[in-house]
Amino acid sequence: MLTKRKVQTTLFLVIAIILLVNILSTRYFFRLDLTEDQRYSLSDATIDILENLDEPVTVTSYFSENLPPDIEKVRQDFKDLLIEYSNRSDAQVVYEFINPNEDQETEMKAQQSGISPIMINVRDKDQLKQQKAYLGALVQLGDKKEPIPFIQPGAAMEYALSTAIKKISMQDRPVLGLLQGHGEPSLSALQQLNAQLNVMYDIQTVTLSDTSGIPSNISSLAVIAPEDSVIDRDFNYLDEYLARGGRLLLAINNVKGNFQNASGEAVNTGFSNWLQKYGVSIEENFVLDANCSNVMVQQQQGFFRMNTPVSFPYLPIISKFTDHPITKGLETVLLPFASSINIAPKDTSISYVTLATSSEKSSLETLPLFFNIQKQWKNSDFGMSSIPVAVALEGKIAGTETKMVVFSDGDFATNGEGQGAQQLQPDNVSLMTNAIDWLSDDTGLIALRTKGVTSRPLDAQLEDGTKTLVKYANFLIPILLIVLFGAIRFQYKKKIRNIIKSTDYV
């Protein structure tokens, strides 16, 4: 029997436990991470960076207050992340949160620190209005500063923060060489790639001549989309570079599409023949994939000519990736006019990993080739599957332990220049950056770039009826389950009541 004293004792113990838990939580922070990709757990790379800090790092977080709940969550997630950083670094990471919207002086200081304001939609009294908001941070170590201008909801927060700390704490950055002189795109045509690589690397253009080969300070060399033939002298320089342990990335166009005359053309650089000595060859063909991007075609609709998107299998969207650091976390990558890669090992000391392949519905076409953009493609047109389009080599290449990555397309990470420049989807840039990180950087930060909320759209190859069924099933099944649970619970309660009513208490 409950007495007044027992109730008071129980209440006192509950309050004491709550207070104790709160006190302990301020000193010892932990949380369980049940996400598939361990999104809320610090990676080994981050832990290694934090444990090797020699000086305190200050993170000044500029976050606006009174934001919509979905954006306010970004602030809380970032704060939780900073608490873990502080704990893991033995308080070497110090942080503070400032609201730049408090006054003009604080807002000016945030902007001077490199934090850019954004405009967000806020509902106030049934009206939609725009509000200026700040979601960024400034990372400082001594005199070195590195801003994180905008922390996007769902983005890889750990990568942005760890990379900023790594950048200002490292003494010497590795040098990445970008080969020029054979029609390759310049650094100004690789805007998005350059922005990502500049965080961790010093980028240096490399032009070969009779008197100079590849400089000795180049840790990795990237050869992206050459258009002209490469002479034997330059291939000899590449052999020498590999023989001394240099690491090489090749993104080579062996064919290209010409929309002006609707034809496919060969690109004769000589790389495919040179690669055969290392057990890899890029074939002179086009990979076709039912999972593909569109081209805009003018079609007559009544009295008007309208631009209509038409599926174009020569622009394959790659979504089949091997479990590898280069491809971890990637969803889809567009490889325009890619070719197939043939792997024929010449040396057992070299391991080969196929990084990416076409879908289960794909095929190959060889030259000469003319595009029929209006063609209605059928499943019977795609009689092949899993055609390799990217491969990684590791081992005694040219007699020395080193690495190489080969892509059968050179344009997937190229923006272009001037009015022809185009914005690339993030995974395209991440694939190229990941490959360079795998070649050059052993810190493990590569795995963090794609760590965040991912997009998993329905398979483009599904029929429209199937897509509709999946959409309504996702909407209705949870509701039906709740109704079913309610009905079962109602019947159970009713049964208990009937038993109680029928019981004869003496």
Per-residue pLDDT tens digits for 123-143: 766 677 778 889 999 999 989
pLDDT top residue among 313 and 68: 313
CA distance 223 to 235: 12
**Topology of the domain covering 45-168:** Glutaredoxin (3.40.30)
From the list 89, 64, 176, 99, the residue with the least C-alpha distance to 141 is 89
Reply yes or no on whether the pLDDT at 317 is more than 90. yes
Choose from 68-72, 358-362, 475-479 the range with maximum mean pLDDT.
358-362
- 453 band by pLDDT with thresholds 50, 70 and 90: very low
Reply yes or no on whether the pLDDT at 17 is more than 70. yes
- 473 band by pLDDT with thresholds 50, 70 and 90: confident
Reply yes or no on whether the pLDDT at 31 is more than 60. no
pLDDT at 70: 80
Per-residue pLDDT tens digits for 202-234: 999 999 998 889 999 999 999 999 999 999 999
Q: Which CATH class for the 174-448 domain?
A: alpha beta
pLDDT top residue among 18 and 237: 237
What percentage of residues in the chain have a pLDDT greater than 70?
A: 87
Per-residue pLDDT tens digits for 409-449: 999 999 998 888 899 999 999 999 999 999 986 555 665 66
Choose from 59-68, 70-79, 87-96, 246-255 the range with maximum mean pLDDT.
246-255
pLDDT at 185: 96
pLDDT at 382: 95
Reply yes or no on whether the pLDDT at 364 is more than 90. yes
From the list 504, 503, 484, the residue with the least C-alpha distance to 495 is 503
Reply yes or no on whether the pLDDT at 348 is more than 80. yes
Each domain of the chain, given as residue ranges in start order, spans 45-168, 174-448, 463-496
- 466 band by pLDDT with thresholds 50, 70 and 90: confident
Average pLDDT, whole number, for the chain?
86
Given a contact cutoff of 8 angstroms between Cβ atoms, the answer to whether 58 and 95 are in contact is yes
CA distance 235 to 212: 13
Per-residue pLDDT tens digits for 69-113: 888 888 888 998 999 999 888 889 999 999 998 888 999 999 999
Reply yes or no on whether the pLDDT at 464 is more than 80. no
Residues 6+ apart with CB under 8 A from 375: none
pLDDT at 213: 92
| Cα four-point dihedral sign 472, 478, 483, 487 | positive
Instruction: Choose the weakest-confidence range: 108-122, 269-283, 328-342, 399-413.
Output: 108-122
332-355 burial code (b ≥16 CB/10 A, e <16): bbbbbbbbbbbeeeeeeebebbbb
- Give the tokens for residue 401: 């332990």
